[in-house]
Chains A and B, each alone.
Chain A
Amino acid sequence: MQLILKIIFFMLIFSNTSNAQSKFQSLIEYQNSNIIKPSVKTAPFVINSIQTFNGEISNKFLLAWQLKKLWYRKDDYSIFLVEKHSNTEYATIDLETGKSLGLAKKNTIKQIKPNSGVRRLIGSALVTSQLNSSILINRISSLDSIGRNPKAIHLQPLRNAILKESDTNLKIQMERLERILSVKFEINEVKRIEAIRSFDNDLSLDVRASLNPILNTTLELSKSPPKQGTYAQIIDMKNPSKFNRYQAYDMIVKEGWAIKYITSEMKRSSLIENIKDGEVSGIKIKNLHTNLSRDLAYSRLVNSDLAPKDVTESQIQSAIDGTFFYEKYIEKSPNVILATQQTLNKIKTKVYIARGIDLFLDALSLASIFFLAAIGLAITFGVMGVINMAHGEFIMMGAYTGYLVQQYIPNYTISIILALPIAFAVTFFAGILMERLIIRHLYHRPLETLLATFGVSIALQQLAKNIFGTQARPLTSPDWLGGSMIINDVISISWIRVAILCLSIIFFALLWFTLNKTRLGLETRAVTQNPQMAASMGINPHKINMLTFGLGSGIAGIAGVAIGLFAKVTSELGNDYIVQSFMTVVVGGVGNIWGTLAGAAMIGFLQKSIEWFNPSNTLAAQTFMIVFIIIFIQFRPRGIIALKGRAAGD
């Protein structure tokens, strides 16, 4: 209030002076501290007073303020624009005249940084002028401003602007925004309902954001039943969800229809207040260690008027029974309410379906990530029967390879395209090395392979820590993978996940083809099923094992690049995926990649559905999923897709 008075006072003084520019300067000087340290509390007044100066300068100033282009000098708090001159020096420019004010050392000046709340206010204030701007970008940004902070005063300028708009796309957007504003602010009921109805099948967020508030309610109490049509629902007090009986009773007390309930805490303090000579109304303190004796002492206090009367449970109940609790609409017009309800109901069904689809996409994406992480394992473990605990570390190696490639090739697109084959090569050779040095000696001792590869796993993990440090390393996706595929405001999936999905489909096809249609695949299967026989048929089992293992490891490398892109690159990356990967393979069924596909799909979809039911606790979803898998394996020990016949032998 004081501020407004000040502004009026100030304007009175300066309206007499002739020079408009100096008036503006003086205003800025007057509001100096509020401009330099802007806050939502003071900004409306500052903006208002600046806007009273019609003309280019006030808008120019506000825009510069909004875009953080204003700077000030630390010693005299003068405000100006700057241009970078060198690392330590900036050229300062007068806001109004555009004249240079000379160079300033960087440490003597400071940027003015309004927060996003203030920026929103400025944007909102600039709407009218920007809507009429001849520059397209200004008009677009004005629409953003309206969308962020819709106000009733925007409605008319927007309608005017629509008539003048020449750009068709923008015009459509403007018309849509006009309808949204109409839903909120149109005074004419018929027009308003028309605007509401026009959104019948639109599930956009901004539409729902404008429709839902119409149905906002307040909680009301009354002793007689409320009038039909003015309330959303009468709350069933036998089974209230939002508040408990005592809270309900408190509300009744607040209305003055009942006396206050005495909590055990209050009883206790009353007793304490009335302690006399180690006794409370004749009962020794040391005996007051049960609720029964305390109640007795309290009732004696009530009888001697030393404490307020207690309320019994039945009194509470009858008070509640005699009261109606209902949710009353804030909106007055029943017609508007009805129209909104009908429109929202139509939207709601669509939203449910859309959310279902979105969840499906999420689950599909999760399944593809699990699949990609596990598919290499499906080959080494599933086909060859080798337990490779270091599989996770191969994934990690792939991710770090991606990071290293990006260090040398700054173009993200090229570096990702290069990183995939390089990661494959690196882990392919690492796999071959491991097969030659370790696994070859342990083909007949599968449990020991587990242990030896675990040794490799901890060594590799620590090695990665020693080389790359413990901090997470950036692996950035190129811009074309940066955003999301947005179908509507409910269904969207990030491009990087789509890419991972594609990658896993490609690898599935590739592997299936390799294993089933090529010579290498045939030989691999032969060696897996009967190495002696295969050897006598002229196949070199050593070579085949080596190549198969390399292939499995190489795919892990590629999975590493993909996972690093959407999550993080740390030395513990592989650790997060190893148990999950093993379970994917085991659940799906060992020995063929269809099984892995089925396993990944099951785990992905299961986890997402559990999350759907319990959205606030992701950890619980993971726990339940594992428990489910354990139980599932009891009933299908060979997995979803079990091999039959001889191949299924241990």
Chain B
Amino acid sequence: MCTTTGFIIETVIKLLVILLVFSALAGFATYIERKVLAFMQRRLGPMNVGPYGILQVLADGIKLFSKEDIVPQNSVKPIFKIAPIIAAASAFTAMAAIPFLPEFTIFGHTVQPIVADINVGVLYVLGVMAIGMYAPLLAGMASSNKWSLLGAARTVIQFLSFEVVTGLSIIAPLMMVGSLSLIDINDYQAGGMQNWLIWSQPIAFILFLLSGYAETNRTPFDLLEHEAEIVSGYATEYSGMRWGLFFIGEYANMFTVAFLVSIIFLGGYNPWGFIPGGIAILLKVSFFIFLFLWVRAAWPHVRPDQLMWLFWKVLMPIAVVNILITGLLLM
């Protein structure tokens, strides 16, 4: 019984830490995003609240919390209220199977920084993250607003496009590793930079990264809330903290994708030269978060038909050929 109690307490602490850390990081990432975009566009970005505008996050948070909560009269109210919760909940649920850091010891107690080490980790994370696409879909369909409905229709298109490429691109590296557990994938790449899967699977890496951008609704695939075309897409009718939950979900998903790419293709939390493993993975994740922002500053949006063309006619055949070649080489 004592071990069970200990296990429960440990799991609850892990859950709380993940929830708090990534909620805070989501807020902080908005500040970083505005700063990076500003520097790339030769502006200053937020400057007035605190030194270099660093307290802007707090100001935004106060604004979001104290804003009037509007539910449109003709909307389907229960679904309208559930949708933002799905966005945040699925994003954090997906994190349950990600090993964030290497094992470490605290007060003589070995901690594995993963909530649930299930042996189908990769599939679980991808599946639950994909469920997050229900949030914009339900939001758009429940708002009874034409722009929102267009956003919902685009959600379906996007979901049906990226889901195939995500699955097919990840198969090739998984065939080499022979396991679906993220810890096994990480251990497979132990022993230095030359063992990283990106060198043997560069095509899978690019495909997975592209579908990760579509999965998190980031530019160039952010057609769900394309300001210039459909006002704000699915989020048009949302305000205050309900909108904030969508936002937290999106940023939490960005971190999930960054962690996934780092673990699957870039050696995860193995020591990188003289850099210890824990810091190595944080460096990789920071780079991918920066890449998300960099791409947003540098690339235009795509149209829905271009998205479908890209994923179904270009990326999917490449992914299939990649699996075929990997299979032939492994034989």
A and B form one complex: no
Interface of B toward A, CB cutoff 8 Å: none
Interface of A toward B, CB cutoff 8 Å: none
